[in-house]
Chains A and B, each alone.
Chain A
Amino acid sequence: MITFMLILHGLAAVVLLGGLTHQALAAIWPVRKGTGAGGGGALANSFRGVNARLYTNTNIVLYLVTFILGGLIYPAYRLAVRTWIENARLWSISGMFEVKEQFLAIGLGMLPLYWLLWRTPADQPLDPQFASARAWVTGILCVVVWYSFVAGHIVNNVRGLFGQ
């Protein structure tokens, strides 16, 4: 059951990564209408040229699902994996996971603001301070999820990567 939840946790994280990366790029580096490509190749333009507003609710649900699944498998990590990591004296790997859990917790507290910042209808002009906040909040959540994904994978494969 733990393995099943771990795989689900990873799959949900992959989808969340895609959604948040699309949305963060669209918020930080939007495609300008009527100004040609506005920098970047065709692939980059299509990647960031999405209707970012549509991603918000899905990203929140995915963040919560991934978070809850992570919480459910955390005790198994604490008992078996962390013990092995500490016995192997892989302190930086253990630290990577500690940073991950703290980052994700703080990201959780940012979700209500993230939701509200993306609520403004597309046809209404957005105050510059809200546009800036939207880009920052989405960018921070994107970095948090990317970091957590990479750290989670390293921890998950720690015996293969560092086992003697």
Chain B
Amino acid sequence: MTTQMRAFTLFSALFAVVYVVCVEMNLALFTYHPRLGQWDIGTVPARTGPAMYWFGWLASAGLAAFLATLLATPLLRRMGPPVWIGWAVPLASMLAFFWFLRSFFLR
């Protein structure tokens, strides 16, 4: 298994986990206010109209997963996660979202 394969496997798993954490804890790198057409750095409450955090969650998860994978690269030259982690963790994260969002379907 190459270092690149280990790194991409780790990134895939980390991105999914960090994304779930970002959504559940509302850790957005930036916030968009669609009514105002304005962007804010960080997680900012809604002003006029709703606030959109999805773009910020994506950025938070992407950046965190990328940096963590980059930091782990020296270690990945010697050892790394099995490749199934790269699909099993994202799959588990998707199933977790069904649980987190169950209230939409149980009303």
Contact = CB atoms under 8 A, between A and B. Distances in A.
Interface of A: 71, 74-76, 78-79, 91-92, 94-96, 98-99, 101-103, 105-110, 112-113, 115-117, 129-130, 132-133, 136-137, 140, 144
14 contacts: A74-B52, A74-B54, A79-B34, A92-B105, A99-B101, A105-B58, A106-B16, A110-B90, A113-B11, A113-B12, A115-B8, A133-B86, A137-B87, A140-B87
A108 B50 contact: no
B54 A116 contact: no
Given A78-B50, A99-B97, 7 more contacts: A105-B57, A106-B19, A106-B90, A106-B93, A109-B61, A109-B62, A109-B90
Interface of B: 4-5, 8-9, 11-12, 15-16, 19, 23, 32, 34-35, 49-50, 52, 54-55, 57-58, 61-62, 65, 82-84, 86-88, 90-91, 93-94, 97-98, 101, 103-105, 107
A105 B90 contact: no
B61 A110 contact: no
A71 B59 CA distance: 13
Nearest to B32: A75
Contacts of B101: 95, 98-99, 102
**Chain B binding site: helix, strand, loop or mixed by DSSP?**
helix
Contact of A99 (B57, B82, B93, B98): B98
Contacts of A92: 104-105, 107
A78 to B, nearest CB: 5
Nearest to A107: B90
A55 B93 CA distance: 26
A132 B23 CA distance: 30
A112 B104 contact: no
A76 B52 CA distance: 11
Given A75-B32, A109-B65, A113-B11, A95 B5 contact: no
